[in-house]
Amino acid sequence: MKTQLTVLGGGPGGYAAAFLAADLGMQVTLIDREPRLGGVCLLRGCIPSKALLHVAKTLADARHLDDWGVSFPPPVIDIDKVRQRKEKVIATLTGGLKQLAAKRKVQVIQARAAFENSHTLKLTPVAGGTLADDRVEFDHCILATGSLPTRLPAFELPTPRVMDSTGALELTDVPESLLVVGGGYIGLEMGTVYAALGSRVTVVELTDGLLPGADRDLVKPLHKKLEKDFSAIYLNTKVAALEDLGEAIEVTFDGDVEQKVQQFSRVLLSVGRTPNTAGLGLENTKVQINKKGFVEVDNRCRTAEEAILAIGDVAGEPMLAHKAAHEGKTAVEALAGRPAVFNPRAIPGVVFTDPEIAWTGLTETQAKQEGRKVEIAQFPWAALGRAQAVGRTEGVTKWIVDPESQRVLGCGLVGYAAGDLIAEATLAIEMGAQVADVAETIHPHPTFSETLAFAAEVHLGTATDLYRPKR
């Protein structure tokens, strides 16, 4: 079989690329080993975790109403129904993708594919399926195979009690206790879900803080909140051994922990993700893999092999769906001869805990590491009417400002709905806005979005919702 463009991988990067290519008139084949489109993000990542976090959030909000004199009896959780509802969300969205592919005449093939050479993929059927053709020849291929949970082979015991993010999202039960290994995005989001459903959650993190890489002043309010929601957070600690006792997993800790040996009903391993390049036959092409295991690409997503482009998690950090989709579109536009480059000033990151943490552009931590001079403008949410009205005053909004040009280079937020607020900051950075542009933009009152303007006013010395003695 011959096609103009083959996209390998049906996640948010791959399907965005395939659909745009079809819209631009290309003949497109989209290959994925899964029976359904959507990739990790939709099938066992961003979307199902957000569905479960919605449940967690609603439970927490209901509990929070106690402070207002409204209380509910303890919730009755039908875990089968929670799981079914989450599955329904996935089914609706993946069904939508199937229709969108069909409408665009994108040919979708379920198979495992590996490069035989720079213009041919060999296909192997999956799950007892059959294939009309076992080879696809292409003019161009976009590699969008994503990433896999980083493995810790020594700890992967043959028991469902030890899970990765896929197992955790299956939500087979609500374990009495859960140990989360790795205090990053996945560990904290899934820990939040299980804690809300009633598990006693413990997090063990190798470094000296949760979410290493994120600015510490943003992590602090979250850490404080999680100390209440979780039963323990162990920093500077690693797991020395795991043993399956049948009824529980016995864990030996090495680090800042008093009780070195503890038992847990389940263990979630969430220590990062690894680009998915194994078994793809890339050695039969000129595609280069860098030291971190990512496919080397230029700013038009081209690899060292003229016919092959790569996007998304497999092509470098940050491993985020929105970055993948943008790269997918850039790759297709580049193929169509348009002057497209992937050169963003800001890629937002969001951790959907409660409170949420979000950042975009330059972080204060990065600025420090690079020895770059920046000015920081902060607004504490305790001074915000809306935050007081809903009892969510723990938030902080800050801008990272270039001292010379007064342009906003980065923004960080912790607080309720921070993940939605960060979009405005990303736009401001992309548009090259100065801090005064943000301050002078009228923000609706009373909303959390005002904190973006107020932080900018703090920087300019014009904030009236705070009192700052004259410098």
The answer to whether 191 contacts ligand NAD (rule: CB under 6 A) is no
Q: For ligand NAD, how many residues bind (rule: CB under 6 A)? A: 25
The answer to whether 216 contacts ligand NAD (rule: CB under 6 A) is no
**Within 345-364, which residues bind ligand NAD (CB under 6 A)?**
350-352
The answer to whether 207 contacts ligand NAD (rule: CB under 6 A) is yes
From the list 15-23, 267-275, 291-299, 394-402, the region that binds ligand NAD by CB under 6 A is: 267-275
From the list 166-174, 318-326, 364-372, 430-438, the region that binds ligand NAD by CB under 6 A is: 318-326
Nearest approach in angstroms of CB 239 to ligand NAD is 6
Nearest approach in angstroms of CB 340 to ligand NAD is 24
Nearest approach in angstroms of CB 318 to ligand NAD is 5
The answer to whether 319 contacts ligand NAD (rule: CB under 6 A) is yes
Catalytic residues: 445
Binding string to ligand NAD for residues 268 to 287, with x set by CB under 6 A, is what? Answer: --xxxx--------------
Near ligand NAD by CB under 6 A: residue from 38, 167, 184, 348: 184
Q: CB nearest ligand NAD: which residue?
A: 184
- Closer by beta carbon to ligand NAD, 211 or else 401: 211
The answer to whether 186 contacts ligand NAD (rule: CB under 6 A) is yes
- Closer by beta carbon to ligand NAD, 110 or else 202: 202
SS (HEC) of the chain: CEEEEEEECCCHHHHHHHHHHHHCCCCEEEEECCCCCCHHHHHHCHHHHHHHHHHHHHHHHHHHHHHHCCCCCCCCCCHHHHHHHHHHHHHHHHHHHHHHHHHCCCEEEECEEEEEECCEEEEECCCCCCCCCCEEEEEEEEECCCEEECCCHHHCCCCCCEECHHHHHHCCCCCCEEEEECCCHHHHHHHHHHHHHCCEEEEECCCCCCCCCCCHHHHHHHHHHHHHHCCEEECCEEEEEEEECCCCEEEEEEECCCCCEEEECEEEECCCEEECCCCCCHHHCCCCECCCCCECCCCCCECCCCCEEECHHHHCCCCCHHHHHHHHHHHHHHHCCCCCCCCCCCCCEEECCCCEEEEEECCHHHHHHCCCCCEEEEEEHHHCHHHHHCCCCCCEEEEEECCCCCEEEEEEEEECCHHHHHHHHHHHHHCCCEHHHHHHCCCCCCCCCHHHHHHHHHHHCCCCCCCCCCC
The answer to whether 183 contacts ligand NAD (rule: CB under 6 A) is yes
Near ligand NAD by CB under 6 A: residue from 238, 345, 407, 443: 238
Near ligand NAD by CB under 6 A: residue from 109, 141, 145, 205: 205
Near ligand NAD by CB under 6 A: residue from 75, 198, 212, 446: 212
The answer to whether 327 contacts ligand NAD (rule: CB under 6 A) is no
Give me Rg for the CA atoms of the chain: 24
Nearest approach in angstroms of CB 180 to ligand NAD is 9
Near ligand NAD by CB under 6 A: residue from 163, 181, 314, 325: 181
- Closer by beta carbon to ligand NAD, 36 or else 322: 322
- Closer by beta carbon to ligand NAD, 168 or else 282: 168
Near ligand NAD by CB under 6 A: residue from 59, 136, 204, 413: 204
Residues that bind ligand NAD (CB under 6 A): 181-187, 189, 204-207, 212, 238-239, 270-273, 318-320, 350-352
